[in-house]
Amino acid sequence: MKPHRILALALVATGLLACEKSAPPSGGGGGGGTPTAATATTNSAKVDDATAKQIFNEKCANCHGVDGKGDGPGAAALNPKPRNYTNKMWQSTVTDEQIAKTIVFGGAAVGKSPVMPASPDLDAKPEVVTGLVKIIRGFAN
């Protein structure tokens, strides 16, 4: 099976799991068990963050490492080496928008290594891309 088909299946499975996890608890708060708009927004953000974490672990950690140091198992064969997200100097020179564009359109689209693959499927999921940017920013702490 081709890698992009495997990725598509993984993303579909991720979406199905995320939908199951986002169901509101029965009888919880908000007057009669009905979720409020604020609760729905909070639940949606949690699902998007969980989806972003899962996507990072599945698609990004192989090269960037689970700790964002650019030392994942796939990094050994790459030249140039993947970005080390823990580098505070780099973090201070890049905007969230630049990171998001690199995630969606790949390294070549932003003048970086063409080895960094694009994830065009995430273009329609800006909340997940925002979650991935938060993960990347979190490595600087």
Please give the full DSSP string across 49-73, using - where no structure is assigned: HHHHHHHIIIIIHHHH-TTSSS--G
Residue 74 counted as domain residue = yes
Q: What is the tens place of the pLDDT at every residue in 111-124? A: 999 999 999 999 99
What distances in angstroms separate CA 118 from CA 55, 78, 137, one per listed residue?
A: 13, 16, 19
Domain enclosing residue 99, as ranges: 47-141
Q: In CATH, what number is assigned to the domain containing residue 140?
A: 1.10.760.10
Examine residue 80 and state whether it is found in any structural domain, yes or no: yes
* 22: in domain: no
- Does a structural domain hold residue 85? yes
Secondary structure letter of residue 29 according to DSSP: S
For the chain, what is the domain count? 1
pTM for the complete prediction?
Answer: 0.70
Q: Is residue 23 part of a domain?
A: no
Specify if 102 maps to a domain: yes
What would the pLDDT profile of 67-107 be if each residue is shown by its tens digit? Answer: 999 999 999 999 999 999 999 999 999 999 999 999 999 99
Residue 123 lies in a domain: yes
